[in-house]
């Protein structure tokens, strides 16, 4: 028996709820053939559905004062599977606003849509987002309770909602963790940065990479590249999150893949020697627009949004710097050996192949065997770093051992 679901997004002065009602159940309660004839349902019966929901969603404060209820966008979703056949549900966006001075985190939820006629129906109520409690939208909703018929007393009980208080620090910390998780799972973002760093320890002679430039030279170039990338993506993350700049996600994602391809070619043969920082900053602008999508999808208020922006960006930087710190020592060590040229070229070619596969995937909308393989390989990133470390140490030791033999005496 399909049940209704109510997902609550807790804001400081209101609750934005998403109500999901199976049309097969709604049909029996609403009195119209909404399931049998769902085509054009919202256009045909939208005002009646909003009126029905407004009558059956009635939260009140603890002192009994009613909340304002506004039913917004309606949408019909349809899914099919071999076992249950076709399933249709109505999704409604509902804004719940308490009276002035009343606590948005403590109230009595009176809800009896469908249940007032279909006594076997249940309503599952959960919190999907509660920023001050550190719960963001990507996590599983936390169930508050279930509204169902009290068979013994033959009545529909109300649901007391008493959410624990949160804090600015809890919300900020959750956003730092979200930033860390986002970049850890963003294989393409990290691959761009790592490929751009591949030739950083090397000098340029003519149109070729040539020889180790020294530790100070390498660290300076690495610092410039990472800082430029950070400035670039932070700038567009700010603009995108505040909705001052908005681009469709598909071209942004394609440009990110192109940025990896350009960096891969540069790692094989210098395209813009000495200007890596400018290129990192420029492509960082593109990557920042992709980061901004994560925050804009949270639909936060201005206060939490600014803290979220800071925390999310801080999480991204912490994760980036951690990965750079894990990889760079071995690249510097390896760049002093004979095998670095082959390692750099093979690494760049593999990154270039992944970039082309991502371009194809993002243009066609279909995953391919290479992109699937890259995502699976990312799960073993720590072993790849360990392998790089072992290769670097072994090669460096052999190189210096051979060099020592050539010294007189």
End position of a domain, from candidates 166, 197, 222: 166
Confidence of residue 19 (pLDDT cuts 50, 70, 90): very high
Average pLDDT score over residue span 58-79 = 94
Residue 255: what are its φ and ψ, rounded to 5°?
-65, -35
Span 276-306, pLDDT tens digits:
889 889 988 988 888 888 778 777 776 778 8
Residue 317: pLDDT over 70: yes
| 155 in the same domain as 267 | no
Q: Identify each DSSP E strand in 98-226 by its residue range.
A: 106-109, 123-130, 142-147, 159-162, 202-205, 208-212
| 104 in the same domain as 56 | yes
Residue 409: pLDDT over 60: no
Distance CA 62, CA 107 (A): 5
| 367 in the same domain as 300 | yes
Tell me the sheet residues that pair with 145.
125
Residue 102: pLDDT over 90: yes
| 78 in the same domain as 139 | yes
77-91, 157-171, 211-225: least confident range: 77-91
Residue that wins the pLDDT comparison between 207 and 325: 325
Residue 408: what are its φ and ψ, rounded to 5°?
-65, 145
Contact call for residues 262 and 271 (beta carbons, < 8 A): yes
pLDDT for the residue 7: 96
CB-based burial label for 79 (10 Å; 0-12, 13-18, 19+):
exposed
Residue 300 has a CB neighbour count (10 Å cut-off) of 23
| 117 in the same domain as 29 | yes
Tell me the sheet residues that pair with 203.
210
Closest CA to 232 of 284, 181, 177: 284
Closest CA to 44 of 94, 6, 5, 36: 36
Confidence of residue 70 (pLDDT cuts 50, 70, 90): very high
Contact call for residues 35 and 27 (beta carbons, < 8 A): yes
Look up the domain containing 130 and give its range: 4-166
pLDDT for the residue 92: 96
| 130 in the same domain as 274 | no
Which residues have a Cβ under 8 Å from the Cβ of 320 and sit 6 or more positions away?
Answer: 183, 190, 193, 226, 229, 230
Residue 310: what are its φ and ψ, rounded to 5°?
-65, -50
Residue 319: pLDDT over 70: yes
| 299 in the same domain as 188 | yes
Domains contained in the chain, number: 2
The pLDDT > 70 percentage for the chain reads 97
14-18, 87-91, 210-214, 355-359: least confident range: 210-214
Distance CA 213, CA 201 (A): 6
| 160 in the same domain as 175 | no
Closest CA to 147 of 127, 168, 124, 128: 124
pLDDT for the residue 34: 86
pLDDT for the residue 137: 64
| 264 in the same domain as 173 | yes
Span 117-148, pLDDT tens digits:
999 999 999 999 998 888 876 668 889 999 99
Which residues have a Cβ under 8 Å from the Cβ of 11 and sit 6 or more positions away?
Answer: 104, 301
| 144 in the same domain as 37 | yes
Contact call for residues 348 and 195 (beta carbons, < 8 A): yes
End position of a domain, from candidates 151, 166, 181: 166
End position of a domain, from candidates 166, 192, 220: 166
| 123 in the same domain as 53 | yes
Tokens representing 393?
């140490």
Residue 206: pLDDT over 80: no
Confidence of residue 1 (pLDDT cuts 50, 70, 90): low
Tokens representing 337?
């050996």
Distance CA 175, CA 241 (A): 14
pLDDT for the residue 288: 86
Contact call for residues 133 and 163 (beta carbons, < 8 A): yes
Residue that wins the pLDDT comparison between 15 and 85: 15
Angle between helices 369-378 and 187-197 (to 10 degrees): 80
| 178 in the same domain as 146 | no
Phi-psi sector, 31: left (phi>0), alpha (psi -120 to 50), beta:
left
Average pLDDT score over residue span 315-333 = 89
């Amino acid at each position: 028996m399909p049940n209704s679901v109510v997902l609550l997004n807790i804001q400081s002065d209101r609750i934005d709820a998403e109500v999901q009602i199976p049309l097969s159940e709604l049909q029996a309660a609403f009195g119209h053939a909404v399931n049998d004839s769902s085509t054009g349902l919202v256009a045909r019966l939208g005002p009646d559905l909003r009126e029905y929901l407004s009558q059956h969603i009635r939260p009140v404060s603890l002192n009994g004062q009613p909340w304002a209820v506004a039913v917004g966008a309606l949408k019909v979703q349809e899914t099919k599977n071999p076992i249950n056949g076709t399933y249709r549900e109505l999704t409604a966006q509902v804004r719940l606003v308490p009276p002035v001075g009343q606590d948005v985190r403590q109230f009595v939820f009176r809800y009896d849509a469908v249940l007032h006629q279909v006594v076997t129906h249940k309503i599952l109520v959960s919190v999907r987002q509660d920023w001050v409690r550190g719960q963001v939208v990507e996590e599983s909703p936390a169930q508050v309770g279930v509204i169902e018929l009290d068979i013994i007393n033959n009545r529909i009980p109300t649901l007391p909602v008493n959410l624990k208080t949160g804090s600015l620090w809890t919300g900020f910390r959750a956003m730092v963790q979200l930033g860390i998780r986002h970049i850890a799972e963003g294989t393409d973002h990290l691959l761009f940065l790592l490929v751009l760093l591949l030739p950083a320890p090397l000098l340029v002679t003519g149109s070729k990479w040539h020889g180790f430039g020294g530790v100070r030279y390498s660290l300076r170039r690495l610092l410039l590249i990472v800082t430029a990338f950070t400035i670039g993506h932070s700038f567009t993350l700010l603009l995108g999150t505040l909705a001052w700049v908005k681009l469709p996600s598909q071209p942004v994602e394609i440009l990110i893949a192109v940025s990896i391809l350009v960096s891969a070619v540069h790692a094989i043969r210098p395209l813009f020697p000495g200007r890596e920082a400018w290129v990192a900053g420029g492509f960082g602008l593109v990557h920042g627009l992709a980061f901004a999508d994560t925050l804009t999808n949270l639909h936060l208020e201005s206060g939490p949004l600014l803290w979220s922006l800071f925390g999310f960006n801080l999480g991204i930087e912490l994760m980036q710097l951690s990965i750079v710190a894990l990889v760079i020592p071995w690249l510097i060590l390896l760049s002093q050996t004979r095998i670095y040229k082959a390692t750099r070229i093979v690494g760049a070619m593999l990154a270039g192949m992944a970039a082309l596969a991502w371009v194809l995937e993002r243009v066609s909308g279909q995953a391919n065997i290479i992109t699937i393989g890259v995502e699976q390989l990312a799960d073993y990133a720590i072993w790849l770093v360990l392998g790089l470390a072992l290769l670097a140490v072994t090669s460096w030791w052999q190189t210096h051992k051979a060099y020592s033999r050539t010294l007189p005496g």
